[in-house]
């Protein structure tokens, strides 16, 4: 019974190692397929004149991807089944004495299965992401090429409209600058006008003050001139009278002297 159990365990281990080797080879090929798929997409993007061959190549790679994914999933399922059988075997009462060594071997096979499963799902997710991204970019490039080839005239008109719009914006900006300069000039002229008004008011104030002084000075000068004329006239008259009385008698001379003194007193009183 022990020999049969040992052979059963060895058969399970052989199946597990065989499945692990097959999975290792499949995963390496699967990873290379994903890498070549991305490279072929890059080549197609760089050379737009050879779209047919890369397209067929990528279609073949898509079919290979689906086939290899199914094969790897089947191998993972088989390896999982073998590990389950090994776990059932280690839990049987007949192998209690060897339970520690068997559990160590089982744990190592489980770790290998977990690593292969993780690597498969990671590679598959990367492949699907690359394919989805490239399909999206290809659709966008196709739409752009269709737009460029089918609407060249519209593009030309759009460019002309954009240029005209830019010219209008430049003209509007120049007009704004000109208006700003005019407003600044107006403000400067307004301030200068206020300064001139204040200067004019001061000049008018001074002009209103100085004419009174000028009038007073003119009146003083006129009075001095009048007094000088009166004095000159009186002196002349007195001199004539004096000269005329020298030839007459002494009484008349005295009267002339009295008359001259009276005129001089009147002049001083004025």
* Tokens matching residue 159: 């460019």
Instruction: Check whether 35 has a pLDDT greater than 70.
Output: yes
pLDDT-derived band at 177, boundaries 50, 70, 90: confident
Taking 60 as the threshold, does the pLDDT of residue 197 lie above it? yes
**pLDDT on residue 224:** 82
pLDDT digits (tens, 9 = 90+) for 241-259: 888 777 665 555 555 555 6
Which pLDDT score is estimated for 222? 86
The residue with tokens 């991204």 is: 133
Domain boundaries, the chain: 2-146, 230-269
Instruction: Taking the CA atoms of 88, 94, 96 and 100 in sequence, report the sign of the dihedral they define.
Output: negative
16-27 pLDDT, tens per residue?
899 889 989 988
Give the burial class of 117: count Cβ atoms within 10 A of its Cβ; 0-12 exposed, 13-18 middle, 19 or more buried. middle
What's residue 41's pLDDT?
55
- Stronger pLDDT, 212 or 34, i.e. the higher one: 34
Which pLDDT score is estimated for 52?
A: 42
**Among 46-55, 83-92, 141-150, the range of highest mean pLDDT:** 83-92
- Threshold 0.85, pTM exceeds: no
Distance CA 161, CA 213 (A): 78
Length of the chain: 270
Q: Considering only CA atoms, which of 101, 93, 33 is closest in space to residue 62?
A: 33
Per-residue pLDDT, 55: 43
């Amino acid at each position: 019974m022990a020999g049969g159990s040992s052979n059963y365990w060895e058969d399970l281990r052989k199946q597990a190692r065989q499945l692990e080797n097959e999975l290792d080879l499949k995963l390496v090929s699967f990873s290379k397929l994903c890498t070549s798929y991305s490279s072929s997409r890059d080549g197609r993007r760089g050379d737009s004149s050879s779209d047919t061959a890369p397209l067929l190549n990528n279609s073949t790679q898509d079919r290979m991807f689906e086939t290899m994914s199914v094969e790897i999933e089947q191998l993972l399922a088989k390896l999982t089944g073998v590990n389950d059988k090994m776990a059932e075997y280690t839990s049987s009462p007949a192998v209690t004495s060897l339970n520690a060594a068997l559990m160590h071997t089982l744990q190592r096979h489980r770790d290998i299965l977990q690593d292969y499963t993780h690597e498969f799902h990671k590679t598959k997710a990367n492949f699907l992401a690359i394919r989805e991204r490239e399909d999206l970019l290809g659709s966008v490039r196709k739409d752009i090429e269709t737009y460029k080839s089918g609407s060249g005239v519209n593009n030309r008109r759009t460019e002309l409209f954009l240029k005209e719009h830019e010219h209008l914006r430049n003209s509007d900006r120049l007009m704004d600058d000109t208006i700003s300069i005019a407003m600044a000039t107006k403000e400067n002229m307004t301030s200068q006008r206020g300064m001139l008004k204040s200067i004019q008011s001061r000049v008018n104030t001074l002009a209103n003050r100085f004419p009174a002084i000028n009038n007073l000075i003119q009146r003083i000068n006129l009075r001095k001139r009048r007094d000088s004329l009166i004095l000159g006239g009186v002196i002349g008259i007195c001199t004539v009278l004096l000269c005329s009385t020298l030839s007459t008698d002494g009484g008349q001379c005295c009267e002339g002297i009295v008359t001259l003194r009276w005129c001089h007193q009147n002049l001083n009183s004025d």
